[in-house]
Amino acid sequence: DQQVKQNSPSLSVQEGRISILNCDYTNSMFDYFLWYKKYPAEGPTFLISISSIKDKNEDGRFTVFLNKSAKHLSLHIVPSQPGDSAVYFCAASGGDRDDKIIFGKGTRLHILP
Amino acid sequence: DAMVIQNPRYQVTQFGKPVTLSCSQTLNHNVMYWYQQKSSQAPKLLFHYYDKDFNNEADTPDNFQSRRPNTSFCFLDIRSPGLGDAAMYLCATSRDLWIGSGSEQYFGPGTRLTVT
């Protein structure tokens, strides 16, 4: 049973426009959420995170929004650039020290010229 | 500048032939993890070490073992690989077990294992 769901396997966005990647989760005990970016032949790299006490976290072109009541988070990339083409993994973790990170299956983002 | 290094990047082994995958880190992190990722699937945690303390996930098959001889190195041993074990194996590190600000995971590039 998937606790972290990324229902869009892929997404294509025009360069310069906004990319919105979505993620849903089922476990209400999750209290820390992360986005990782993965290029081919490389491991995932940490992109941005958000604690459940916040509903928004921004870092440059990247903003993560958290809607706890809907158990939904999204990653916004504005403006989208060619280098943003990658697979994006949503991940979540509980509040205890031993809680592991649960990953979603990823969404492949294509930035079109 | 590589911080988490995995060797080899590609490994081919025969059905039933033991294989060892290697991971090293220059971050001096306390925690090292091994994940299995199959095509179009989420990375799945197999086990982790906090320092020398080993923690096996409940659903990790006995076929998978791990060793951490020192802070820098961690090995994944697959005792009798089956065709279903073909996957990308990712090593990751973090400063602490608590996944919060400042203790995110750093991943290596992965080893792609093929079983013939």
Q: Spell out the residues 6+ positions from residue A97 whose beta carbon is closer than 8 angstroms to its own.
A: B96, B97, B98
Q: In this complex, is the C-beta atom of B51 within 8 Å of any C-beta atom belonging to chain A?
A: no
Residues in B touching A100 (Cβ below 8 Å): 45, 48, 57
* Annotated domain spans of chain B: 4-105
| CA–CA dist A55, A47 (Å, integer) | 17
Residues of B in contact with A105 (CB under 8 A): 40-42
Domains parsed from chain A with CATH numbers = 4-112 (2.60.40.10)
pLDDT (tens, 9 = 90+) of chain B, 116 residues, equals: 669 999 999 999 999 999 999 999 999 999 999 999 998 899 999 999 999 999 999 899 999 999 999 999 999 999 999 999 999 999 999 988 777 656 788 999 999 999 99
CB-based contacts of B6: which residues, under 8 Å, 6+ apart?
A: A43, B21, B22, B23, B89, B90, B91, B108, B109, B110, B111
Q: Which fold has domain B4-105?
A: Immunoglobulin-like (2.60.40)
